[in-house]
């Protein structure tokens, strides 16, 4: 590990109250690069102290340093370490924390609703400061709040993972839909072309049907006219033959009567 892994410049001001930063000795800094010395972690690695065994009650300072690790950075080539404050908080400090939270929200233009990383960061710092204040008064309550904080972070991380998975799933489905969209559009175009051809064929067939019906109508009219003429001719022949037969019968009756006389 090297010094370049440490943050360059003083960290952003936090809602968590810290002690004044102290300069790391040059000898200790060498120990950071080689073998970590007591109380100083390698560059870029957050401090996470192990609490003493349950048989011996840990000190409040040890618990605070385990809950809220010290901040480390390099400024002007000097390695600084800043531990969390061990000073008790008064009622005025709590009011000042609330005002400072609102001030930071306005300064950093945090959103009042919806997803906002800035608002999440500020409220996380405020919660850490409350844990610090409670731990100083009662270590057990501080450790319990630590569990609550970690559980909340785990829940938020789970929701973030779920959100990212859903976004990836949605993008994948969208890409699949876009991939099949070209084939569907091509198929739609082919079906529309086929539909147009079938419509033209329907129009053509309807025109043929109309022509055939017109021709059949004309043929039926001609046939009906011929039948009417034949019927009239047959009626005329019937009447003529009936008159002829009637005159013939009259002639025969007359001839028979003359022969008898």
Q: What is the per-residue pLDDT across 130-188, written as a single tens digit (0 to 9) for each?
A: 999 999 988 899 999 999 999 999 999 999 899 999 999 999 888 887 777 888 888 99
- Burial-class residue 18 by CB neighbours within 10 Å (0-12, 13-18, 19+): middle
197 pLDDT tier (thresholds 50, 70, 90)? very high
Q: Token pair of 128, please? A: 């850490």
> Quick one: residue 231, left, alpha or beta (phi over 0 = left, psi -120 to 50 = alpha)?
alpha
Q: What percent of the chain has pLDDT over 70?
A: 84
pTM of this prediction exceeds 0.95: no
Pure H helices in the chain: 26-33, 60-67, 91-107, 117-137, 139-260
Angle at 161 between CA 159 and CA 162, to 5 degrees: 60
Mean pLDDT lowest for which of 33-47, 59-73, 196-210? 33-47
252 pLDDT tier (thresholds 50, 70, 90)? confident
Beta bridge partners of 71: 82
Q: What is the crossing angle of helices 91-107 and 117-137, to 10°?
A: 170
List, for residues 214-243, the tens digit of each pLDDT value: 999 999 999 999 999 999 999 999 998 988
Largest Cα span, the chain:
183
* Distance (Å, whole) CA 223 – CA 32: 120
User: Would you give the DSSP letter of residue 37?
Assistant: P
Torsion, Cα of 239, 240, 243, 245 (10° steps): -110
> Quick one: residue 32, left, alpha or beta (phi over 0 = left, psi -120 to 50 = alpha)?
alpha
Per the CB < 8 A criterion, the answer to whether 19 and 83 are in contact is: yes
Whether pLDDT at 50 is above 80: no
List, for residues 61-97, the tens digit of each pLDDT value: 888 888 888 888 888 888 988 888 988 888 898 999 9
- Return the number of other C-beta atoms located less than 10 Å from residue 124's C-beta: 17
- Return the number of other C-beta atoms located less than 10 Å from residue 63's C-beta: 21
Q: Rounded mean pLDDT of 195-211?
A: 95
Q: Rounded mean pLDDT of 17-36?
A: 59
């Amino acid at each position: 590990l090297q010094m370049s892994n440490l943050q360059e410049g003083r960290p952003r001001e936090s809602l968590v109250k810290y002690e004044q930063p102290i300069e790391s000795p040059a000898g200790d800094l060498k120990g950071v690069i080689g073998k970590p010395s007591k109380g100083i972690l390698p560059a870029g690695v957050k401090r996470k102290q192990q609490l003493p065994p349950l048989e011996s009650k840990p000190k409040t300072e040890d618990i605070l340093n385990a809950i809220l690790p010290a901040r480390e950075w390099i400024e002007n080539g000097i390695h600084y370490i800043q531990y969390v404050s061990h000073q008790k908080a008064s009622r005025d400090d709590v009011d000042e924390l609330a005002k400072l939270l609102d001030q930071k929200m306005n300064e950093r233009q945090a959103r009042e609703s919806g997803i906002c990383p800035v608002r999440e960061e500020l409220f996380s710092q405020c919660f850490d400061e409350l844990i610090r204040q409670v731990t100083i008064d009662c270590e057990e309550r501080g450790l319990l709040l630590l569990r609550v904080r970690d559980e909340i972070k785990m829940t938020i991380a789970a929701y973030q993972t779920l959100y990212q998975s859903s976004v990836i799933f949605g993008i994948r489905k969208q890409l699949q839909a876009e991939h099949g969209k070209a084939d569907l559009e091509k198929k739609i175009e082919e079906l529309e072309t086929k539909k147009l051809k079938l419509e033209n064929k329907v129009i053509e067939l309807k025109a043929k049907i109309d022509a055939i019906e017109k021709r059949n109508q004309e043929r039926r009219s001609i046939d009906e006219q011929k039948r009417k003429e034949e019927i009239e001719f047959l009626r005329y022949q019937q009447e003529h033959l009936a008159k002829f037969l009637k005159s013939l019968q009259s002639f025969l009756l007359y001839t028979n009567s003359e022969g008898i006389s």
